[in-house]
Copies of this chain bind each other. A is one copy, B any other.
Amino acid sequence: MNEILFLTSNKHKITEAQTILNKYNLKLVSFPGKGEEIQSDSLQEVARICAKRAYLRIKKPLFVEDSGLFIDALNGFPGAYSAFALDKIGCEGILRLLGQERLRGARFECAVAYADKNGTRIFTGAVLGSISTQIFEGEGFGYDPIFIPEGHKQTFSKNFEVKEKISHRSIALEKLAKFLTEKKE
């Protein structure tokens, strides 16, 4: 079983990735620290360049992941800078920015970039939903306490089984896992 490095320091992301890759008999090794990320509105560009440069340095098959929450009424904010905004203003800041706004549509996006000697490949995932009017603490991390996926009534934080199945990150990681499995056969 070949090892694949996952460049991240986020324990939640490691757990989520392990759950999925293990199903495909792929061995994930977390590589602490994150690669250098450029400033860009495009998650795909951030992930692609990050993975490419990390591979040139580490020279082992690896992937990086970049996710963002894009809120319609905030012109896509916090988007590619979701981690930064979460750290500074939190879910509470997002609710304050939205105020009494009725159109609360949003989407979570994820870009996984995999790099090996053959180059870099991108796998994406997205999930549509809306922003709740209050914070629901529970499982998960990040903006899970305020994101309600379409067709459901509870936030990701209150419905973690659903998150594991339909989240932006799960979708992108499933694509990566399938690609790696098919490649080996």
Chain A interface (Cβ < 8 Å from any Cβ of B): 36-39, 41, 46, 74-79, 81, 84-85, 87-89, 93, 96-97, 99
Q: In the complex, which residue of chain B has the Cβ closest to the Cβ of A49? A: B36
Which chain B positions have C-beta within 8 A of A81? 39, 81, 84-85
Minimum C-beta distance from A49 to chain B (A): 9
Assess the B97–A77 pair: CB atoms within 8 A. no
User: In the docked arrangement, what's the CA distance between A27 and B87, Å?
Assistant: 41
Contacts of A37 in B (CB 8 A): 38-39
Chain A interface main SS type: mixed
Q: Who on chain B is nearest to A78 by CB?
A: B88
How many Å lie between the Cα of A74 and that of B86 in the bound state?
Answer: 11
Neighbouring B residues of A75 by C-beta, 8 Å: 87-89
Rounded to whole angstroms, the CA-CA distance of A13 and B49 in the bound complex is: 28
Given A37-B38, A38-B38, A99-B96, A79 and B74 touching (CB < 8 A)? Answer: no
Chain B, Cβ-Cβ closest to A75: B88
Q: A77-B85, A96-B99 provided; 5 other pairs, C-beta below 8 A?
A: A36-B39, A39-B81, A76-B88, A77-B89, A78-B88
- B88 adjacent to A74 (CB under 8 Å): yes
Residue among A46, A88, A99 facing the most chain B CB atoms (10 A cut-off): A88
